[in-house]
Amino acid sequence: MPHTKTESGFKQGHQLCNRAHRMLTITLRGLERDGLVARKAYATVPPKVEYCLTPLGQSLTGPLAALASWARENRPALEQARAAFDRRAAQD
């Protein structure tokens, strides 16, 4: 029986979800290894896991907020720089 567009889309969506879940797991494990988050697993069905910021992770909130503010304030300049670069790259 051939796959319908809906079945194919579901399969692709499921694969994308699996990849996204795997990347999230890898990222969280790295943050845990760096001491930025703490992980608590519960022996339930289905399994449950919670993450929270450690004091070290909480100490990053100020610097990250400053970075986000800088990015918002400088977005127009960044977009202009990208556009100028793209124009130059297109001429090459």
Global pTM value? 0.67
> In the prediction, which pLDDT does 25 show?
93
> In the prediction, which pLDDT does 1 show?
46
Rounded CA gap, 31 and 22, in Å? 14
| Beta-ladder partners of 40 | 50
| Beta-ladder partners of 42 | 48
- What's the DSSP call for residue 67? H
Q: Give me the torsion for CA of 28, 32, 37, 42, rounded to 10°.
A: 80
Rounded CA gap, 91 and 54, in Å? 49
> In the prediction, which pLDDT does 5 show?
54
> In the prediction, which pLDDT does 92 show?
86
pLDDT in tens, the chain (92 residues): 454 555 666 666 667 788 898 999 999 999 999 999 999 999 999 999 999 999 999 999 999 999 999 999 999 999 999 999 999 999 98
